[in-house]
Amino acid sequence: MAVINDPNTAANIAKVDANGNVYFVDGYEEHPAAGGMYSVAGGTTAVIAVSLAADTSLMAMRFASGSTRRAYITKFRLLGVVHTAGAAGGIGTILRLQRFTTATPTGGTARTPNELHEAEGTATDMTDVRDNNAALTMTSVVFGTAVAVSHMPNSSTNVAPVEWIVEPRYPIVLAPGDGLCLRTLNAGPGTATWGFSYNFWWTEKAIIT
């Protein structure tokens, strides 16, 4: 095993075996001084009714407009459950994870983010996370592009849960004031009812100019 030294400090920076393979050990990203690693969880505690209108916002999270950081969303997971099966051949609800900005949604149940390492970092600037089985109030919200889309099944015979995971190669970046919401793309089926739970994971780091 050969050792490679930093020419400026003489410190060991890498080890290489006889075949030229670099030896390394998996580790975790260091906590930033301002920011950290976070998660949040939530979900519907009541049934989502039949015939839910298109463009209904069921969940939203917004990064504080006054933050000096950016949020890097690394993973989103949703578990959808059919409570009442729909008619055979019916079209299920299409859900989109969509950007928004300008205003903070209201209504529903507020959720409290979790700091993954409570002894490190600082409190999150993801200061508003909420969900509702009927609809959040999105007054003055400006919607952006859809980041991801998935289908909530509507079946007369199969009511198995559906798992939707968004784990992009590059994080979804939220600047101060930006948010993500879970929003319907189409009108819901006339007979099916359903519900969902969700989790987000993200990192917050100071903006470097």
- What's the pLDDT at 131? 98
User: How many Cβ atoms sit within 10 Å of the Cβ of residue 177?
Assistant: 16
Domain that holds residue 94: 32-206
69: left (phi over 0), alpha (psi -120 to 50) or beta: beta
- Does 109 reside within a domain? yes
Given a contact cutoff of 8 angstroms between Cβ atoms, the answer to whether 143 and 99 are in contact is yes
Provide the domain count of the chain: 1
What is the residue whose two structure tokens read 């819901």? 188
- Does 18 reside within a domain? no
HSE-up of residue 42 (Cα within 13 Å, Cβ side): 23
pLDDT digits (tens, 9 = 90+) for 19-49: 766 655 555 666 677 889 999 999 999 999 8
- Does 194 reside within a domain? yes
- Does 188 reside within a domain? yes
- Does 126 reside within a domain? yes
- Does 5 reside within a domain? no
How far is it, in rounded angstroms, from Cα 51 to Cα 92? 10
- What's the pLDDT at 2? 62
- Does 19 reside within a domain? no
pLDDT digits (tens, 9 = 90+) for 103-142: 999 999 999 999 998 877 789 999 999 999 999 999 999 9
pLDDT at 50 over 60: yes
Residue type, 97: L
Indicate the pTM of the whole model: 0.84
Given a contact cutoff of 8 angstroms between Cβ atoms, the answer to whether 173 and 70 are in contact is yes
- Does 87 reside within a domain? yes
How far is it, in rounded angstroms, from Cα 147 to Cα 29? 25
Q: Which of 121, 137, 98, 131 is nearest to 35 (CA)?
A: 121
